[in-house]
Amino acid sequence: MMRARPASVGCAIALWAATPARADDPIPPLPDVQPQPASSRYLLSADRLLEVNVGATLQLDWNGLAGVDGPTAHAGAVVGGEIGIPFYEQRLRPALFSGVKLGAYADEKHEPFAFVEGARFRYSPFMWDVFDIYAVARTDVDLDPGASTVLRPGLGVGVRVARLLAVEATWDVMVPIDSTFVDTRHPSFVPYGISFGVLFDSCFKCNRAAPPQVNRDLACRLYTAAAAKKAAHGRICDAVRRAMTATPDPIVASRDEDGTSTFLKALAAAVTAEDEKAEIGALVELHGNLLAQWARYEELSGNLAQNAQRLQERWTYAPVPAELRSYLGCDADAQTNQLAAPACNELTK
C-alpha cells in the first residue's frame, strides 16, 4: 500500500515543474497543484469573498426640547443592506451600508424620511464553530431632504449565529453637519442614542472555492499521432483487421498489457513495409510513454489526495483499438469511400 509522504510529494512536484515541456512533445507535462482556499479551524468560518447583509435597526435618541421638562424621545427604523469583505477567518468584517430611515430623530425637523449611508467595522475576539461575539463600530450619515445632515457614530457589541444571523446593539451620538438642531437642549451634540439591529447574511454562494478541474483525455494524443501517419493510411487495413482479433494473454495481462498495447504490437508484427513498421512502432512507443505518464499522474494525484489537495487537471487514458482503426484510416465512409477523420477534444471542462 502506498504511504503518504508530504515531503517527497513536494520534491516530486518541484522536480516535474522544473522540467520545461517542449511545444512539440506528445507527452504532456504533469499538471500543477490546484491552489486551495484558506482553511479555518472553525466549522463555519470558510474563506469568503463577500458578505451581503440585509437588516433592520431600531434607533432611539433622547434630546430635550426647549421649554419642555425632561428628555424627549425620538424613534426611527432603518432598513437597508451592506456589503462587506471578511478577513482572518471572518473575524474582521468591514462593510459599507446604504438604506432608508423612517421616523423621527434629533429634533422635530428630522422626520419622517431620510437616506442613510454609512460604514461598519466588526471584530470577533470570541469565536466558536457556531457562535461568535463581536465588537462593532458604526458611522451613519443621515441625509434628510428637509433638514440638516446628521452624523451618527456608535460603538457596541453583537452576537452572530452560524455566520448567518446576527443581533447587535450600539450606543450612539449625533452631530449636525450643516446647522444645529432646532429648539433642543443639545443643539450641536446629542449624547444619548441607542440602536438595536438584526442582520441576515444573504450571500449563500460567497465562499471561495477551488476552480473545477479541467478534464484531459490523453487518448487524443495517441489518436492524433495515428491520424498523422500518412504512410500507413490505406495500405495496412488488412493488417489492422487481423490485429483487431488479438487479445491480451489473461495469464500475464497487466495494466501495461491492455487491449491497445496488444493491438498495436500485433499490428507492428503484421505490416511488412519498413516505413509502415517504423510508424506503427512509433505508435507503440508513444502508447507506452503515455501509459507511464498517466501512472505518474495517478501516483502524484493519490499522494496529494491524502493531504486534501488535488491537481488542476483530471486525466484519463483509455484508448480503444476500434477508434485507433478509424484514425489509421481504415473506416471508410460507405457513400463517399473517403477516409473518416473524427475530431478528438483533449481538454474539456
pLDDT band of 219, cuts 50, 70, 90: very high
Spacing of C-alpha 115 from chain mean position: 36
In a domain, 264, yes or no: yes
Edge-first strand order for the sheet with 347-348 is: 313-316, 214-217, 347-348
Beta strands in 104-143 (DSSP E): 113-127, 131-143
Query: Mean pLDDT, to the nearest integer, of 175-187?
Result: 84
Model pTM above 0.75 = no
- Together in a domain, 78 and 172: yes
- Together in a domain, 268 and 328: yes
Of 68 and 161, the structure prediction assigns the larger pLDDT to 161
- Together in a domain, 57 and 196: yes
User: In this predicted structure, what is the pLDDT of residue 197?
Assistant: 96
Of 306 and 8, the structure prediction assigns the larger pLDDT to 306
Strands 131-143, 214-217: pairing is unpaired
Q: Each residue of 52-99: pLDDT tens digit?
A: 999 999 999 888 765 565 567 888 999 999 999 998 888 999 999 999
Number of domains in the chain: 2
Domain's final residue, options 201, 225, 249:
201
Report helix angle 274-305 to 259-270, nearest 10.
170
In a domain, 145, yes or no: yes
- Together in a domain, 307 and 329: yes
CA distance 77 to 320: 70
CA distance 266 to 271: 9
Domain's final residue, options 171, 201, 231:
201
CA distance 114 to 141: 10
In a domain, 307, yes or no: yes
In a domain, 73, yes or no: yes
**Residue 109: beta bridge partners?**
none
- Together in a domain, 239 and 288: yes
- Together in a domain, 129 and 227: no
**HEC states along 15-67?**
HHHCCCCCCCCCCCCCCCECCCCCCCCCCCCCCECCEEEEEEEEEEEECCECC
- Together in a domain, 177 and 260: no
- Together in a domain, 154 and 114: yes
| Cβ pair 249, 259 in contact under 8 A | no
Grid coordinates given for 170: 450600539
- Together in a domain, 169 and 221: no
Considering Cα of 319, then 325, then 328, then 334, what sign does the dihedral take? negative
- Together in a domain, 119 and 159: yes
- From first CA to last CA, the distance across the chain in angstroms is 32
Of 143 and 178, the structure prediction assigns the larger pLDDT to 143
- Together in a domain, 191 and 281: no
In a domain, 82, yes or no: yes
In a domain, 88, yes or no: yes
User: In this predicted structure, what is the pLDDT of residue 294?
Assistant: 92
Domain's final residue, options 201, 235, 260:
201
Q: Which helix (H) or strand (E) is 224 found in, with range?
A: helix 219-227
Residue numbers of the domain that contains 130: 53-201
| Cβ pair 270, 241 in contact under 8 A | no
Grid coordinates given for 116: 442613510
| Cβ pair 80, 100 in contact under 8 A | yes
- Together in a domain, 88 and 145: yes
- The SS3 call for residue 71 is coil
User: In this predicted structure, what is the pLDDT of residue 5?
Assistant: 40
In a domain, 46, yes or no: no
| Cβ pair 192, 62 in contact under 8 A | yes
CATH number of the domain to which 153 belongs = 2.40.160.20
Check pLDDT > 80 for residue 34: yes
CA distance 201 to 120: 14
In a domain, 276, yes or no: yes
